[in-house]
Amino acid sequence: MEKQLVSVSWLKENINNPNMVVLDASIPVVTENSKTAKQTNITGARFMDLKNIFSDVEANLPNTMPSPKQFEVACRNLGINENSIIIIYDTKGIYSSPRAWFLFKTMGHAAIAVLDGGLPEWMKDGGSCSLAYAQNYPLGNFKSNFDPKRLKNASSILDNIRSGKYLVIDARSEDRFLGKVPEPRTHLKRGHIPKSINLPFSKLIKDGKFLPQQELKTTFKDAFVGDYPLLFSCGSGITACILLFAANLVLENELFLYDGSWSEWGEGDEYPVK
């Protein structure tokens, strides 16, 4: 599986592969008021519950990386095997699916890709849909091979303010980055990590799909990323993965995620804010 981003036409051509597993990794957008569940899904898809099963629900921060064992058990319960070819999508087109991709990559699974345009593009192209997820599949044999080097913590960010080793890129909106509007999590401070730059994830997406790769390259170039190792942050570790995924497509820089993101940084008095 060399592709990291696949089209609807590619999925239609390959969906009957016996090793194919299609996962819906949809979550509500944090700035929306809706608690809604989705109405339809790709026929044969299984639900990857990022909020309640594929995150550490005992952590005091939202969407925290699960333990390797928790992730392994959850994957096996979804019928995922070591040789599974996994395609991830979400109902927004591109929103939470890159987070799911990052989890699998961090847990050592290579055969994983994101569906460009997600469910809206699938439906637009006449793809088969269902009101129910697939249920009848045997227990999988997935094994986690956790790579902790992909993740950075608040201590790493504090060190980086002094050293400047990494370029920290914040995926939140410009207004949130500049502290012009309240955070959706109302107990958090406004502002951004000192010495970080802002690249809203929305600038990498058009009509629910990633921009063409040359345009992605230009967008990163315009942000002056250079050859720095890139460390991505956002509100809670979800949309930062959109930037990380796009960078993985078109850049050769080292890429890392600050999993705690603003949910951690904006809460702690020990963390400086600009």
For residue 129, CA distances in Å to 26, 100, 217, 250 come to: 15, 21, 34, 32
Distance CA 82, CA 103 (A): 15
CA dist., res. 65 & res. 29, Å (int): 18
Pairing of strands 20-24, 46-47: parallel
Instruction: Decide: helix, strand or coil at residue 174.
Output: helix
b/e burial code for range 178-189 (CB count within 10 A of at least 16 → b): eeeeebeeeebb
Tell me the C-alpha distance between 59 and 215, whole Å.
Answer: 37
Q: Is 99 helix (H, G, I), strand (E, B) or coil?
A: helix
Of the candidates 238, 216, 237, which has an alpha carbon nearest to the alpha carbon of residue 92?
238
Name the token pair of 64.
């925290």
Assess whether 234 carries a catalytic annotation. Answer: yes
Catalytic residue among 75, 129, 234, 241: 234
* CA–CA separation, 122 and 132 (whole Å): 16
Catalytic residues: 234
